[in-house]
Amino acid sequence: MNQKESFIQEIQSRYSYKNDKIILGKAKLDGEIVEEAEISVALKTMNRHGLIGGATGTGKTKSLQIIAEQLSLKGVPTLLMDIKGDLSGIGAAANSEDKNAQERMEALNLPFDPQASPVEFLSISDEPGARLRATVSDFGPILFSKILELNETQESIISIIFKYCQDRNLPLIDLEDIRRVLQYVTDSDEGKSELNSNYGTIAPASLGAILRKIVALEQQGATKFFGEPSFDVQDLLKTKDGKGIVN
Query: How would you write the pLDDT of the chain (247 residues) with one tens digit per residue?
Result: 789 999 999 999 999 999 999 999 999 999 899 989 999 999 999 999 999 999 999 999 999 999 999 999 999 999 999 888 889 899 999 898 899 888 888 888 888 889 999 999 998 888 888 888 999 999 999 999 999 999 999 999 999 999 999 999 999 999 999 999 999 988 888 888 888 888 888 888 888 899 999 999 999 888 889 999 888 889 999 999 999 999 9
Can you tell me the distance from the alpha carbon of 178 to that of 188, in angstroms, rounded to the nearest whole number? 15
The secondary structure of residue 80, as a DSSP letter, is -
pLDDT (0 to 100) of residue 195: 85
pLDDT (0 to 100) of residue 83: 82
pLDDT (0 to 100) of residue 84: 83
All residues at 6 or more sequence positions from 106 whose CB lies less than 8 Å from its CB, including other chains:
112
Can you tell me the distance from the alpha carbon of 72 to that of 244, in angstroms, rounded to the nearest whole number? 4
pTM: 0.77
In the chain, where the domains are located: 3-121+236-244, 136-224
